[in-house]
Structure 1
């Protein structure tokens, strides 16, 4: 994992490559799959989340519309709540498929209990439905792969990138809350 040191003059130094690096350079490392850690040269404080936020900010400045205004406004308005909603929405298609499978099994079980279908028939039908669903998923994959490539080309972050960013924003939010609490306690002690 490349470790980037941030100096007081805001310069960034890649300790692995042994050279200075820009925010764009860090973004490129991340796009190439590297897990990057950014630390303050003096205090060794982890600045990864702050740096990734700066990268997003810079990309937004250059590529006006990188993130829709509604997403940015929602993030500011709701803080962590929006991120939790985003996380749930990313997981919801998988949850929906799970619920569909459970509902099919439940209905087949009811037919077996009523004597309207033999257990073997229910198992066979369940397997056929699962196989048909998997076949449909395979048919959709080329379209899904094209969509993923299109989104990547347009700079839309992947699910993994969003989850990583969400985690880093949550860490940053916790640090900010702690700093506010410390400052409040310090002010209370001075009064």
Structure 2
């Protein structure tokens, strides 16, 4: 994608087609969802009037993602609560609150992923296991014969060391779920 100073402009035409001016190609809502997941910044403009319709298009993406997902992200109770705030005197405060709540959740998610990586991938016993497996492979002993012997010796130690970290992650997940439920 060409480098630009600001967000990529996506033009939406009357026939509902979306045109990415950064790549000079037509895109779908799915493509825009992928751009969001990659952290690419874009603005959607009505091609005729020039109005910014980014909010509407992002809402449409959420609607389509929810419709095709086996497990919806937005619970019915949450949707009912949001609908209840339209026209309420607190409506103006809700976007800022939700934005801050999502930022906090994202920070916690990053922390949880780091903890998960630490527990699963940075475990010194597991690193030693893979180092020994690679040494056996280079020596021509075959990884499968080494793996069978190593699993007897090291697997119990790895599970014991990781169990505490996994219990901590489970506790953090419960806390986050409680926070989400309370929102």
More helix by share: 1
Q: TM-score, length-normalised on structure 2?
A: 0.47
Higher relative contact order (CA 8 A, sep 6+): 1
